Each structure stands twice: as structure tokens, then as C-alpha cells.
Amino acid sequence: MNAPETLPILRYPDPRLHTVAKPVAAVDDRIRALIPRMLATMYEANGIGLAATQVDVHERLIVIDVSETRDQPLVLINPVIEWASDDKRKGEEGCLSVPGIYDGVERSTAIRVRALDGEGVARAIEAEGLLAVCIQHEMDHLVGKVFVEYLSPLKRNRIKSKLVKAQREAERA
Ligand code: QAP
Ligand code: CO
């Protein structure tokens, strides 16, 4: 078997990152082909999570692997948060679409999510710690939200300028 091809990742402030994803209508061959490509893209970029939005596919699908060993892929299709703890904590986040930028975001410390897995089977997931944070971060992408939107306008504008400049320089190189 050949390794799945990776996909280009949209970079903030690309306006396509603000697209609201539609539900996945059916876990068909197209979706089953997309999943390994999203996983390959996430692993190649050393990420722990990737939403379809970030690869310009505007359907409710995310892939996650928060394991140290990078061999515990999790696929969530049409995820719904059933419950989120009132208990919240501020933790450092980054994003494959916002390279080199890390800042604190407040999130629920525990959640319960319903989603279909990569085979289209309904699952209930209880998560805490890094996995809970990662699911919340990735589900934000599906509604067009990037973590920098939780930061102050001043910080966000600095990040925007920095990334626009970096992309300009990368294009010149
Ligand atoms: C979301 O983010 C997340 O800037 C996933 O240069 C992050 O995988 C959830 C990455 C933190 C919870 C906590 C970022 C890789 C990866 C970068 C990522 C970079 C290389 C981010
Ligand atoms: Co992200």
C-alpha cells in the first residue's frame, strides 16, 4: 500500500477558514478516502488534530491523535457536544493553520461528545485533559472559528500581520 497523499493546509488569515461546515451526508467512499489523507496530513505536520475545514473541505469531520506514540487515530464525523463541564481551564494552544503561534485559551476541562467514527458507527466519547481541549478546538474550526479569535484584537492583529509577512516571504523564496 502506498502512503496516503497529504493535503495543503489553509493558513490564517485565509478567509476560507471561516466557512461553516455542513454535516457529512454519508460515510461513503469519498469520505473514507479523505480520512487517511487527513491523518497523513496531520501526522506529517506533527499535529494532534486537524479539521476538514483546514484542508478546504467544508464538512463536519475531524481527525485527532493525542497519543505520545502517534498511533491512536480518532475520527469524529458530525460531532455534537452533549455536555461540557462548567469547570474551565486556560491552556496553551497552537494550530496547524496558525504556525509558530501559541497562546492561552479557556476551555471546559471535560466533555461528552456524540459522533460517527470512520466506519460510520455512532460513538459516545467522554474526554478530559488534552483530548477534551483538542476536540473543542477542532469543533470550533467546523463553525469557522480559529483559536486566535479568543485573543484580544491587538494580539490577533499582530498574529495576522506576522503570518501575512511570513507568507509573503515564503512566496518570494
Ligand atoms: C489543536 O493543534 C490543539 O504552530 C491542534 O509550528 C493544540 O496540532 C489542541 C502545530 C494544542 C490542544 C492543544 C502547531 C505544529 C500543531 C504549530 C496542533 C507548529 C507545528 C498544532
Ligand atoms: Co486548529
Ligand closest to CA 146: 2
The catalytically annotated residue of 138, 149, 169, 171 is 138
d(CA 56, CA 16): 7
Note the pLDDT tens digit of each residue in 27-85: 999 999 999 999 999 999 999 999 999 999 999 999 999 999 999 999 999 999 999 99
Contact 38, 71 (CB under 8 A): no
Q: What backbone phi and psi angles, to 5 degrees, belong to 21?
A: -75, 150
Please compute, for residue 130, the number of CA atoms within 13 A of its CA located in the half-sphere on the CB side.
11
Closest by CA position to 62, among listed 97, 98, 28, 38? 38
Helix (H, G, I), strand (E, B) or coil at 60: coil
d(CA 112, CA 109): 11
Note the pLDDT tens digit of each residue in 114-132: 999 999 999 999 999 999 9
Q: Is 36 in the pocket of ligand 1 (CB under 6 A)?
A: no
Is 138 a residue of the active site?
Answer: yes
Q: Whose CA is nearest to atom 19 of ligand 1?
A: 99
| Cα(101) to centroid(ligand 1), Å | 9
Note the pLDDT tens digit of each residue in 121-165: 999 999 999 999 999 999 999 999 999 999 999 999 999 999 999
Contact 29, 37 (CB under 8 A): no
C-alpha cell at position 77: 464525523
